[in-house]
């Protein structure tokens, strides 16, 4: 059972553009929502994370928007750069169950120069 | 401060064999989680160890087993390998059994023929 659904599967954006990736979750007990970036041959690296008590969090060019009632959250990459070309994963976990992450299927982002 | 390391980087086995993968957690971390990442998919949680005790398990059969040692390094053992076990196996370490940031290693690529 896929508890975190991620879209789109792939995305092409021009340098300087905005990349938007969306995720939807089913389990209302989830209370921690991180985004990971993965380059080929590497393990995932945490980009940014949010908890449901805030609707938006920004770190540099990366912003998470969170809609608790819709059970959706999204990652916006502003001023996309070729170095941002990677696979991005959303994830979710429950504090009562420790930090056992449930991942989305991933979005492959290609930033064209 | 050293990061999460995994060994070996690549491994080829045949069906029915057994394999042991190793992970050294980041300095100061006492929690290790293992994930399986099939090609083109998001990581799936296998199990977690906190202070040498199993602290939760995902939907994986008993032939997947693990250990955590007093220095918090960890092993993942898989018995009776099947073709579908071919994947990237990721280890992640963190401090505490709660929602602390998980730091992933580069993974071990396992191919089962």
pLDDT tens digits for range B67-89: 999 988 999 999 999 999 999 99
Q: Using a CB–CB cutoff of 8 Å, tell me whether B105 touches chain A.
A: yes
Q: Do B33 and A100 touch (CB under 8 A)?
A: yes
Q: Using a CB–CB cutoff of 8 Å, tell me whether B42 touches chain A.
A: yes
Interchain CB contacts (distance < 8 Å): A and B: 69
DSSP output for A23-69: EEE--TT--BEEEEEE-TTS--EEEEEE-TT-SEEEETTEEEEEETT
Would you say B29 and B1 are in contact if contact means Cβ atoms under 8 Å apart? no
Q: Using a CB–CB cutoff of 8 Å, tell me whether B40 touches chain A.
A: yes
Q: Which of B71, B5, B83, B74 is nearest to B33 (CA)?
A: B74
CA angle, residues A79, A110, B5, in degrees to nearest 5:
100
Chain A residues contacting B via beta carbons under 8 Å? 4, 6, 31-32, 34, 36, 41-46, 49, 89, 91, 93, 95, 97-106
| Chain A residues inside the 8 Å CB shell of B107 | 42-43
Q: How confident is the model at residue B64 (pLDDT cuts 50, 70, 90)?
A: very high
- Spatial separation of the C-alpha atoms in residues A64 and A73, rounded to whole Å: 7
pLDDT at B98: 61
Which residues is B13 bridged to in the sheet? B112
Give how far the C-alpha of residue A22 lies from the chain's centroid of Cα atoms, to the nearest Å.
Answer: 7
pLDDT for A15 beyond 70: yes
Task: Pick A44's closest partner by Cβ from B94, B97, B104.
Answer: B104
Q: Which DSSP state fits A84?
A: G
**pLDDT (tens digit per residue) in A67-107:** 999 999 999 999 999 999 999 999 999 877 777 899 999 99
pLDDT for B102 beyond 70: yes
Q: How confident is the model at residue A14 (pLDDT cuts 50, 70, 90)?
A: very high
Would you say B8 and B108 are in contact if contact means Cβ atoms under 8 Å apart? yes
- Spatial separation of the C-alpha atoms in residues B95 and B29, rounded to whole Å: 4
């Amino acid at each position: 059972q896929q508890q975190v659904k991620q879209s789109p599967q792939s995305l092409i954006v021009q340098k300087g553009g905005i990349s938007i990736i969306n995720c939807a979750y089913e389990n209302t007990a989830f209370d921690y929502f991180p985004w990971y970036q993965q380059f080929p041959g590497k393990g995932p690296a945490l980009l940014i994370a949010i908890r449901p008590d805030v609707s938006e969090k920004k770190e540099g060019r990366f912003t998470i928007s969170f809609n608790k009632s819709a059970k959706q959250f999204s990652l916006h990459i502003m001023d996309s750069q070729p170095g941002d070309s990677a696979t991005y994963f959303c994830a979710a976990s429950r504090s009562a169950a420790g930090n056992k992450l449930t991942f989305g299927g991933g979005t492959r982002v290609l930033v064209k120069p | 401060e050293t990061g999460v390391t995994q060994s070996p980087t690549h491994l080829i086995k045949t069906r029915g064999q057994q394999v042991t993968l190793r992970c050294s957690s980041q300095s100061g971390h006492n929690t290790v989680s293992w994930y399986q990442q099939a090609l083109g998919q998001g990581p799936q949680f296998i199990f977690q160890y906190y202070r040498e005790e199993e602290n939760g398990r995902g939907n994986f059969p008993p032939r997947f087993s693990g250990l955590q040692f007093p220095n918090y390094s960890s092993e993942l053992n898989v018995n009776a390998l099947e073709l579908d076990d071919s994947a990237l196996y990721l280890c992640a370490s963190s401090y505490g059994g709660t929602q602390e940031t998980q730091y992933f290693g580069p993974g071990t690529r396992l191919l089962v023929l």
